[in-house]
């Protein structure tokens, strides 16, 4: 994953709950936060509405 980020590539992790996605992403964040601005985003509990359209996904509430 680190190599992909360094090369400017995209990747995604698409697995269900309890498949060990968080530990490697946390390690990646720790390894790269001194070189990059790292944003953590969670869609947990958001339901389906944010994914109905690009506008919904980009909308933020204040």
Per-residue pLDDT tens over the stretch 3-57: 999 999 988 888 888 999 999 999 999 999 999 999 888 878 888 888 888 888 8
Instruction: Please give the DSSP secondary-structure letter assigned to residue 40.
Output: -
Q: Is 5 exposed, middle or buried (0-12, 13-18, 19+ CB in 10 A)?
A: middle
d(CA 17, CA 9) in angstroms, rounded, equals: 25
pLDDT given at position 60: 63
pLDDT given at position 54: 86
Expressed in percent and rounded to 5, the helix, strand and coil fractions of the chain are: 40, 0, 60
- Radius of gyration of the chain from Cα atoms? 14
């Amino acid at each position: 994953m680190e190599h992909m980020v360094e090369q400017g590539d995209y990747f995604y992790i698409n697995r269900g709950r309890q498949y060990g996605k968080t530990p490697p992403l946390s390690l990646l964040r720790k390894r790269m936060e001194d070189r990059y601005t790292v944003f953590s985003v969670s869609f947990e509990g958001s339901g389906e509405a944010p994914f109905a359209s690009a506008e919904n996904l980009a909308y933020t509430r204040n």
